[in-house]
Amino acid sequence: MATVDMLLNVAMDFRNGFVRLCYSSQMESMKEEYLKTVRAKLEEMSKYLGDKPWFAGNEITFPDFHFYEMFDQHREFHPQLFDGLDNLKAYMDRFEALPVPFGLIRFGVAPDHPEVKNVINQFTTLALTDRCRFIGNINIGTDININQLRSYYNGVVLAYGAEEDKTMGIKGEDSYGVFSARSFVSWYNGLPGYENLNLNLSSGDTAVIIGQGNVALDIARILLTPLDTLKETDICSHAVDALSFSKIKKVIMVGRRGPLQVAFTIKELREMTKLPQCKTMIKHKDMLPYKDIISELPRPRKRLTELMLKTSSDGRDISNDDNVLELLFCRSPMEIIARNEITKGIKLEINELIEDANGGNTTAVGSGEYETIDCSMVLRSIGYKSRNIDPEIPFDEKLGIINNSKGRVVNNGTTINGLYCSGWVKRGPTGVILTTMNDAFETAGSIIEDNKNGMLPSSNTARDILNDIKGFEPVLFEDWLKIDEEEKRRGELVGKPREKIVSVLEMLQIIKNNKN
């Protein structure tokens, strides 16, 4: 008990120091010295934590929640503070391991696309059979390593996606007002740890999105959709509250190349063109060069380009009352224009498009001409990358994928029997849901073939993984159903399909309450 009290005092002193800095009128001049001091404190905490899962030992205690909250805030404040402190990073990962299923469907699909989320019903049917077992709230690589996990099963499939962002690598990118698409999507979809994302929605009327894919269109739609429409979806209440103060009326989606290279699909663009109180602006002069070649394009690209041409205009039909989505082509981000580290605009280089000799790939080449757009927010939607969660996994750091052949994990040319991968961590963060489905079918086919040929290793079926792994609180599917029930109950009270719970601690408390 004395140890817990001591840790609580340390955590509260840590918090009070940060609060004093944040509320000081001299914050900017004090920041550099504070970063030096707090780094030294973090190094001491790292040394004290050592290889323990929690600060007081093998069991989580009350101070851990204070430590995690302060670590998370400092990670947002200055991410480099944790460089080299791997055990503190693992400590935060341990807190953030999710106790709920459905991954991308729950935390990635836009709240106004409920029809896509209906696949949850099929997953639930499968999860309730005795052939399937869900274990949540466990972090692979820290709570249990890959080799341990493999000892319990004949086969292990790594399908953990891509949870890190690609950056633009330009001056001013760390300014306040620059956010990743992943963070923004996680914020409105209720991924634990993102509910307090400090977005500056009320400091300007223009947001710029770098990227022209479906995720970029999702973000634009959330920013420009009438609030009363969003309130009827499962978007999180903290997002609705923040969006109610939003002054964003114009979103500009910027792409490096031209109209024929956009990555979004026709469904998402058509949906945007029908958004109430919003106009989609594509300059007519940008589409005219492609008018005569549309008939020669492959069918999906042909239909998309036809819609873009039909949507294009000179902008004279846009009134001051309209929200606006503008598509801007052949531009590359060069610099975030900031004042006092707060985003005020973005500098873009105008590109020229160069086709290779065979008429295949089209490359964007800078022209040396520049322009600046005034904006208060920049969202980069230029892709994701996977990370290696265990040193035993043969991972290609450059490509950001697990080395594999048809889903079979390969190390130095040798197949690791019984270890597989699927999805973005297998082939990279590209494609749509159908692409990922076909990818999964290929991996499943490899598993079936290996099983038929006797290539799967044996497992110790006499042992139960839940009895052997210590230091975490596993969440099973029947536990998730209690969380699901509570979310739907809260949603019904406010006329929504559900109100997502964004606190892992609250999720675990609901499970405990239902077991008592």
- Condensed to tens digits (0 to 9), the pLDDT of residues 169-204 reads 999 999 999 999 988 998 998 888 788 888 989 989
Rounded to an integer, the average pLDDT of 269-284 is 92
CB 457 within 8 A of CB 418: yes
Q: Which two tokens stand for residue 214?
A: 């479906």
Q: Which residues are annotated as a binding site for NADP(+)?
A: 212-215, 256-257, 268, 431
| Percent of the chain as helix, strand, coil, to the nearest 5 | 45, 20, 40
Q: Which residues are annotated as a binding site?
A: 96, 104, 140, 212-215, 256-257, 268, 424, 431-433
**Which residues make Cβ contacts (< 8 Å) with residue 348, sequence separation at least 6?**
254, 331, 332, 333, 334, 370, 371, 372, 373
What's the rounded Cα separation, in Å, for the pair 70 and 475? 25
- Residue pLDDT, tens place only, 122-136: 778 887 888 888 888
What's the rounded Cα separation, in Å, for the pair 176 and 180? 12
**Residue (of 198, 199, 209) closest to 373 by Cα position:** 209
**Residue (of 460, 457, 476) closest to 468 by Cα position:** 460
pLDDT in the model for residue 240: 92
Specify which residues 26 forms β-bridges with.
none
- State the DSSP H helix or E strand holding residue 471, giving kind and residue range, or none if neither: none
- List phi, psi (to 5°) of 83: -60, 125
**Which residues make Cβ contacts (< 8 Å) with residue 231, sequence separation at least 6?**
240, 494, 495, 496
Could you write out the DSSP letters of every residue in 23-70? T-TTHHHHHHHHHHHHHHHHHHHHHHHTT-SBTTBSS--HHHHHHHHH
Q: Which two tokens stand for residue 406?
A: 């048809």
pLDDT in the model for residue 57: 79
Task: Please give the DSSP secondary-structure letter assigned to residue 171.
Answer: B
Residue 55 pLDDT class (50, 70, 90 cuts): confident
- Residue pLDDT, tens place only, 454-471: 988 876 665 677 777 666
pTM of the model: 0.76
- List phi, psi (to 5°) of 46: -60, -45
pLDDT in the model for residue 100: 74
Q: Which residue has the higher pLDDT, 74 or 369?
A: 369
One-letter identity of residue 39: R
What's the rounded Cα separation, in Å, for the pair 283 and 290? 13
Q: What is the CA radius of gyration of the chain?
A: 25
What's the rounded Cα separation, in Å, for the pair 64 and 59? 10
**pLDDT > 90 in the chain, percent:** 41
Q: Which residues are annotated as a binding site for FAD?
A: 96, 104, 140, 424, 431-433
